[in-house]
Structure 1
Amino acid sequence: MNSPTTLFGHLKSWAETDPQRTALIDPLPTDAASEGTESGHVRISVSDLLARTNEFADLLAEHGVGPNDCIAVWLPSWSDTYAWQFAASALGAHVIGVNTRYNVAEVGHVLTKARPQVLVVAHGFRNLDFLATARKAIAEVDQETAAQQDRSPGEPFTPPKAFVWAVPGAASEPTIADYDLGAGAVLVPAESSTIDQAATSFAAAAPEESRLSVAFTTSGSTGMPKLAAHRESAVITHSQQVASRIGFTTGDVLVEPLPYSGVFGYSAGMGALFGGAAVLLHPVFDEQELVRAWSTFSGSHFVGADDMLSRVRKVCEDTGTKLESWRWAGVADFQGMSADIAEWAAEQFGTRTVGVYGSSEVFALTSFWPNDTPEELRYSGGGRLVDPRYEYRIADPVTDQPVSEGSEGEVQLRGPNVVDHYLGDQGEGRKNFTSDGWFQTGDLGRAHGPEAFEYVCRMGDVIRLRGFLVDPAEIELHLITHPDIELVKVVGRSSDVGEPEVVAFVQPVPGTTPEPEDIRQYCRQQLASFKVPTEVRLVETMPVTAGTNGSKIKTAVLREWAAQPAVVGQ
């Protein structure tokens, strides 16, 4: 029997093979709980997921969506979010996930670039007014499009049809007429009316090797995000390789607090499904609720950010909760806490933690470290490429030529995991590739054999001190061992005479007020003198951005602060 060549085909195959296998575990608000729920959650079988997918595919087909069309999905992570992806696959369409935190300008940018035929929008989620944001975004797009038409006539902007999805337990029912953004609005049924997989009217699209499946917004530090799109065949093979490398099996449960709209939540979730595991969904991060659900459903795997696990750790320590089922964690080290958390999880539960690597343009989990990697390397970013067809090289960022073994340079990638197309591309995509076809990640790394590399830092974060390229993390890893330091971030700035120097921003442990000069002396005990921060500044809280893949410290803001005299409250 030939293997399915579409995501929809794989879902049908799973339902035929083991229809009651749990695919997703949905949380429900207390007032939405009903018969069949389990500790405030409901299990969604692959059969249930297929039924919902069929319903969505019928709805999309009824409204004219077909091959190569785009569906924008602006929802929190519930099982229906997955169903829209499989429904798009059934029709040969592709999905662009929209972060629930996006503002007017960002939503307008996605709509302009992706030109979706349909916008699936949540109603009643955390009292967020998606409707008002969408209306303002489209008004601004219309205004900008009209101005562009005067300068250079082109294809006019057509607003998407709104498919309104009421969040389980929403305080009010949506008024469909209000959601008409210019192309009409449709109410999405609250739940499947049937689980008969044969009760469908749409015609499944024939698979095509080049057909797009999903696009992710990039998280660049400047300008609006690009919309990095990937072929369906690449999504399938990547998910299969992730499932195999992690070792997912039937009965495993992936604890996934990251949103499905982002590349990390998406790649991890799809890998779990392809491995036969269930995905425990968590639309709004609440560490206490997450730990309760994790314990109840015997979560075996976790993919997410170190700041999330830091909060999970505190709940476990405060409540005495033992996550004995937790076997493996793939962690993105956004705040320099991975090693400390990994040691805690290993000691308490026997968990193996590894650093992971990826991005919107090359898939998340494009590489991660094997469990037997030495500890000094295992918690860092990078790792072994998950697919033998993926290639990497470490290149001089100026010449794009490979550097000598052991040297640092830009991580460049090539293979089916690399972005196939940027939605709405006007030439910016070409800038990310070398003349000989390698994707330039903008990350500094070093080689570890032909299949693995170590992520060092973003190219823009590296600091040149006394002629040496210094990774700020080297200084941060020492500073975080200070007993009075809870969080630290190191940035570079130019001195009065134009020489690079280091500034360390320190968030103290609550109840402590360490002296900056004492912290500098602490650095002198272990670090070379030129790596000792010129200045240490105490901050009450770090400036962070809550992105699709977790909270990240705003390095650019800290660089601005470092360039100015210290003020109270920094």
Structure 2
Amino acid sequence: MELTDHGDRIALLADGAPTTYAELAAQVDALSADLAARGVRRGQVVGLCLPTWPEAVAWEFALAALGAVAMGIHTRYQRHDVAHLLRTAEPAHVVVPFAFRSGSRELDLAGTLRDAATDAGAAPTVHVVRAPDGAELAGFDLGGGVHASWGDGGGAAIPDVGQPGDPFKLFTTSGSTSAPKLAVHDRASVFAHAAHAARALGLGPGDALLLPLPLAGVFGHTAAMAALAAGATLVLQPVFDPAGALRLVRDHRVTHLIGGDDLFGRLKDAWEADPVELPAWRHGAIADFSGRSPEVAHWAQDRFGVPVCGVYGSSESFALAALQDPDLDVHRRVRGGGRPVSDDIEVRVVDASSGTDLAVGETGELWFRGPHVMSGYLGNTDATSAALTPDGWLRTSDLGHLDPDDPRRYLYSCRAGDALRLRGFLVQPAEIEAFLIEHDEVATAKVVGAKDATGGDVAVAFVVAVEGSGCREEDLLTHCRAHLAAFKVPTRIELLAELPTTAGTNGPKVRTTVLRERAATLLADGS
């Protein structure tokens, strides 16, 4: 990916200030020279704990030029999370902002890093971004030295020593089944996948993509790289504010929005509270983390004529690895999955126990092979062997099936551990959730499994009602009994003010473990 190919086009917009591709390329050259002078070397891991600032983008490209490995550290991570990353990756360098305010709160990133480094026994060199001239930096020193960094490098560019096959990016996994791991991707795969995703999204010069997501996560990183590969403009929003985001979309003629359904849902809510014109918006790509995707897609289609399409991806296989077709009906369009963004991506649906391929339409484990698949988990050969077959297939632990209407397209159902076996039938929670969400009084829903008094598996649903609807459990159960197969009808439906979620690098995710515990309690005490 050559930034200079796009010259005077605007690469970044931050707080209204533009940075052209030529200016960004010059900043990358200066920064890489400065980092080389300060000891950053090929193969070293560098932890990037930065907001979605222009500097964060420049650091990514500078590390690629040096052949160093970038590891994102979310600015919302706490002591335990950061210590785990420091132990696992052993970064030689860590980058932090001098100060960063998230909403009304000043984040003590230096303190978090210092405590985590103590826990991990780590002493990386610290580079401080946006430090005022003459600022005292001793509090950032972890024992490996500290520098104020956004270097001028003396204006002397250095040779690009990084190679296409060099490990370049580490993404944390969700940690839904174990402690988070670090998926390794090389430079060639990062840049190639960015170009493939850009083409699939229809991104090109003159387009603009809003980026409120952190570059630390695979979703934000892939979206940013796709926009830059296309010569489009990244409109940066370091702290997501839905009303402010809508103004950015309007004022900077943003064409593409990408994010989780929580982010889109908050945009929808803000727009309904204070509508604004969004004249240039023409495409949305959505990951369903909280069950609001159908609601969002209907809003975008009805109000703006914009198709919002489901996606599929992971830390192991990049975000935006597949995209649903915009001409599908809304409920199919927002499903996770779609067509792979590159013909080089191979897809199989297999019986997880035997590894044999299943027929089109049958549900099994999704396997992928191609340049978008990670090379492995950093420092974890056992986990790598469990995830990757000897011939390069990634076992995802996700369930899905090939679409009978188009076997090149696949549909994600759920994580393997989330599937329900109800009266002998394999049922995907998403099927029951989608049915409930179609009800006029249901805003969103999540279904989990639990054991009844006989030890059999049953479905329990948790629903957030439309405000002011008067939604009741018995009414919803009656609705389910009238339209669903008996074995799919939830045993209980509990109404909640909101679903429990946890923050992640790619957006909030519903805490299904909490819901399973609540479901077990409901069935145990009959409440």
Contact 1:164–1:174, Cα closer than 8 Å, also in 2: no
Contact 1:75–1:100, Cα closer than 8 Å, also in 2: yes
The TM-score with structure 1 as length reference comes to 0.87
Structure 1 residue 543: deviation in Å?
1.0
Aligned position for 1:37: none
Letter in structure 1 aligned against 2:138: A
Structure 1 residue 201: deviation in Å?
4.5
Aligned position for 1:89: 64
Structure 1 residue 511: deviation in Å?
4.0
Structure 1 residue 317: deviation in Å?
2.0
**Is 2:138 the partner of 1:177?**
yes
Show the 5 A alignment for 1:391-406. Answer: 391-406=346-361
Structure 1 residue 50: deviation in Å?
1.6
Aligned position for 2:123: 159
Contact 1:112–1:424, Cα closer than 8 Å, also in 2: no
Aligned position for 1:525: 482
Question: Which ranges in structure 2 are unaligned for 5 or more consecutive residues?
Answer: none
From 144, 148, 153, the counterpart of 1:187: 148
**Is 2:14 the partner of 1:19?**
no
Letter in structure 1 aligned against 2:41: G
Contact 1:316–1:322, Cα closer than 8 Å, also in 2: no
List per-residue Cα deviations over 1:49-89 (Å, max 9, x = no partner).
12221222122101111211111100111111110011011
Aligned position for 2:108: 129
**Is 2:229 the partner of 1:249?**
no
Q: Give the match's secondary structure for 2:434.
A: helix
Q: Give the match's secondary structure for 2:449.
A: strand
Structure 1 residue 435: deviation in Å?
4.8
Structure 1 residue 456: deviation in Å?
1.1
Q: Give the match's secondary structure for 1:87.
A: helix
Aligned position for 1:341: 296
How many angstroms apart in 2 are the aligned matches of 1:98 and 1:110? 8
Show the 5 A alignment for 1:159-558. Answer: 159-166=123-130, 174-189=135-150, 199-205=155-161, 207-448=162-403, 449-558=406-515
Contact 2:320–2:341, Cα closer than 8 Å, also in 1: yes
Letter in structure 1 aligned against 2:109: F
Letter in structure 1 aligned against 2:129: W
How many angstroms apart in 2 are the aligned matches of 1:437 and 1:57? 34
How many angstroms apart in 2 are the aligned matches of 1:498 and 1:232? 50
Letter in structure 2 aligned against 1:19: G
How many angstroms apart in 2 are the aligned matches of 1:413 and 1:55? 39
Question: Which ranges in structure 1 are unaligned for 5 or more consecutive residues?
Answer: 1-6, 28-40, 143-157
**Is 2:100 the partner of 1:120?**
no
Structure 1 residue 186: deviation in Å?
0.4
Contact 1:410–1:459, Cα closer than 8 Å, also in 2: yes
Aligned position for 2:54: 79
Q: Give the match's secondary structure for 1:445.
A: strand
Q: Give the match's secondary structure for 2:433.
A: helix
Which range moves more in the overlay, 373-382 or 222-231? 373-382
How many angstroms apart in 2 are the aligned matches of 1:118 and 1:553? 33
Structure 1 residue 381: deviation in Å?
0.8
Structure 1 residue 277: deviation in Å?
0.7
Structure 1 residue 338: deviation in Å?
1.5
Letter in structure 1 aligned against 2:125: K
Q: Give the match's secondary structure for 2:367.
A: strand
Relative distance call for 1:566 and 1:394 in structure 2 (3 A) is: closer
Aligned position for 1:141: 120
Relative distance call for 1:120 and 1:501 in structure 2 (3 A) is: same
How many angstroms apart in 1 are the aligned matches of 2:330 and 2:500? 30
The TM-score with structure 2 as length reference comes to 0.94
Contact 1:322–1:349, Cα closer than 8 Å, also in 2: no
How many angstroms apart in 1 are the aligned matches of 2:226 and 2:513? 33
Structure 1 residue 567: deviation in Å?
11
How many angstroms apart in 2 are the aligned matches of 1:517 and 1:330? 35
Q: Give the match's secondary structure for 1:320.
A: coil
Structure 1 residue 485: deviation in Å?
2.7
Structure 1 residue 486: deviation in Å?
2.6
How many angstroms apart in 2 are the aligned matches of 1:474 and 1:421? 33
Structure 1 residue 335: deviation in Å?
1.6
Contact 1:298–1:325, Cα closer than 8 Å, also in 2: yes
For the aligned residue pairs, the C-alpha RMSD in angstroms reads: 2.2
Relative distance call for 1:290 and 1:174 in structure 2 (3 A) is: farther
Q: Give the match's secondary structure for 2:22.
A: helix
**Is 2:525 the partner of 1:564?**
no
Q: Give the match's secondary structure for 1:547.
A: coil
Letter in structure 2 aligned against 1:162: V
Contact 1:94–1:214, Cα closer than 8 Å, also in 2: yes
Which range moves more in the overlay, 320-329 or 480-489? 480-489
List per-residue Cα deviations over 1:299-322 (Å, max 9, x = no partner).
101110111111111222222212
Q: Give the match's secondary structure for 1:401.
A: coil
Count residues with an aligned counterpart.
Answer: 520
How many angstroms apart in 2 are the aligned matches of 1:567 and 1:256? 45
Structure 1 residue 513: deviation in Å?
4.6
Letter in structure 1 aligned against 2:59: W
Q: Give the match's secondary structure for 1:550.
A: coil
Structure 1 residue 492: deviation in Å?
0.7
Contact 2:449–2:459, Cα closer than 8 Å, also in 1: yes
How many angstroms apart in 1 are the aligned matches of 2:136 and 2:178? 35
How many angstroms apart in 1 are the aligned matches of 2:478 and 2:193? 48
Letter in structure 1 aligned against 2:19: I
Which range moves more in the overlay, 519-528 or 212-221? 519-528
Which range moves more in the overlay, 365-374 or 547-556? 365-374
Contact 1:492–1:500, Cα closer than 8 Å, also in 2: yes
How many angstroms apart in 2 are the aligned matches of 1:341 and 1:295? 18
Contact 1:391–1:451, Cα closer than 8 Å, also in 2: no
Contact 2:34–2:152, Cα closer than 8 Å, also in 1: no
Relative distance call for 1:375 and 1:315 in structure 2 (3 A) is: closer
How many angstroms apart in 2 are the aligned matches of 1:223 and 1:535? 29
Letter in structure 2 aligned against 1:202: I
How many angstroms apart in 1 are the aligned matches of 2:459 and 2:398? 20
List per-residue Cα deviations over 1:260-288 (Å, max 9, x = no partner).
11111111111111111111111111101
**Is 2:24 the partner of 1:69?**
no
How many angstroms apart in 2 are the aligned matches of 1:267 and 1:241? 11
How many angstroms apart in 1 are the aligned matches of 2:225 and 2:491? 46
Contact 2:46–2:70, Cα closer than 8 Å, also in 1: yes
